[in-house]
Amino acid sequence: VRLAESKIEIIEPKQCRDGDNFARAVERGLSAENKSLPCKYIYDERGSCLFSEIMNLPEYYPTRCEKEILTRYRSCLSDYLGDEPFHLVDLGAGDGRKTKLLLRQFTNDGRKFSFVPIDISQSSLECMANDLEPEFCDLKLKGLVADYFKGLEYLSHNNRERNFVLFLGSNIGNFNREESREFLTGLRNSLNDGDLLLIGFDLKKKTSVMVEAYNDSAGISAQFNLNLLNRINGELGGEFDLDTFKYYSNYEARQGAIVSCLLSTRKQTVFIDALDREFDFGKWEPIHTESSYKFGIEQVHRLARDCGFEIEDDFFDSRRWFVDSLWRAR
């Protein structure tokens, strides 16, 4: 990877190195009565690649819906920004393929901005930087390897200029209802009055469509979730046999979420060297790995107001399966 062309900088603040946190989170999650592992740890280099593959799957509609939305409304979005300089902050930027649509528009319109992608995966940011470099040679890019919360902390200390924050792809869906309120209130408080947030929500729809998006026929979603065990094996000396865990993902209508887990197909005991202990798994016992919450448009609007934002506009795809909602910090 060729980086650090002077305009491109990727930093990983010291307090964001997540090595021991991973071990602690695994210990906590696997000792609990209801076992779970935090989904943010899926995204190492392999997990991030698998997620890029997911975004190309025929079943995974959210990416295509959002591309349609951004393509259709990017010039309208650009009009909101005007001539004053701003930071384009991209939370959970990933490989940046969707953001590129906006970068192109804003650059062509002569908007003055610096680009601040924030992602937990350093490899994703590096890929993005290398991918953008030839086309956007004058772009000021400062990538930050951090989780969302560290990202907000960074924002609140560097918010002298206007911000236009992107939180796309229904990344918000991984938080439960209470966590999403807390997070968005925290985000609001790290912004200046008048700053804009473009936030993507996957909308409730026919359950089969949602279920298939997380149960693709190529089995990539399964590999993506199983990557958690893979990572425990590689980084913490775990002894998981991945063939004895089965990915299971379904829509829980009462929660309004796709809930995913790994089921131990037999009773077994697994040793993890870095934790110097074993964990017992009952036959068909689940490890919760991820929830992906779905929204009604009224829920989206209530969330905006409750967290200190005003709704400027809603941008839907033609099927109204997804919305990118534009909010202003009030």
Angle, nearest 10°, between helix axes 122-132 and 45-56? Answer: 60
Question: Are 163 and 155 a contacting pair, CB within 8 Å?
Answer: yes
* Only segment of 69-77, 148-156, 170-178, 299-307 that touches ligand AVJ (CB under 6 A): 170-178
Q: How many Å apart are CA 59 and CA 62, to the nearest integer? A: 9
Kindly state the DSSP code that residue 268 receives in the 8-state scheme.
E
Which element (helix H / strand E) includes 165?
strand 162-167
Kindly state the DSSP code that residue 204 receives in the 8-state scheme.
P
Interacting residue with ligand AVJ among 183, 201, 214, 321 (CB under 6 A): 214
Q: Does 99 bind ligand AVJ (CB under 6 A)?
A: no
Q: Does 169 bind ligand AVJ (CB under 6 A)?
A: yes
Q: Does 221 bind ligand AVJ (CB under 6 A)?
A: yes
Question: Are 244 and 268 a contacting pair, CB within 8 Å?
Answer: yes
Q: Does 16 bind ligand AVJ (CB under 6 A)?
A: no
Q: Does 173 bind ligand AVJ (CB under 6 A)?
A: yes
Dihedral, CA atoms, 69, 73, 74, 76, nearest 10 degrees? -160
> Which residues in 252-281 contact ligand AVJ (CB under 6 A)?
none
Interacting residue with ligand AVJ among 18, 290, 317, 324 (CB under 6 A): 290
Alpha-helix runs per DSSP H in 44-135? 45-56, 61-81, 97-108, 122-132
* Only segment of 80-88, 123-131, 169-177, 190-198 that touches ligand AVJ (CB under 6 A): 169-177
Sequence letter at residue 141: L
Nearer residue to ligand AVJ within complex by CB, 29 or 169: 169
Q: Does 171 bind ligand AVJ (CB under 6 A)?
A: yes
* Only segment of 2-10, 149-157, 168-176, 265-273 that touches ligand AVJ (CB under 6 A): 168-176
Question: Are 118 and 82 a contacting pair, CB within 8 Å?
Answer: no
Q: How many Å apart are CA 171 and CA 102, to the nearest integer? A: 18
Q: How many Å apart are CA 307 and CA 302, to the nearest integer? A: 8
Smallest gap from residue 57 Cβ to ligand AVJ (A)? 9
Nearer residue to ligand AVJ within complex by CB, 214 or 315: 214
Interacting residue with ligand AVJ among 63, 170, 223, 227 (CB under 6 A): 170
Residues that bind ligand AVJ (CB under 6 A): 54, 62, 169-171, 173-174, 214, 221, 224, 290, 292
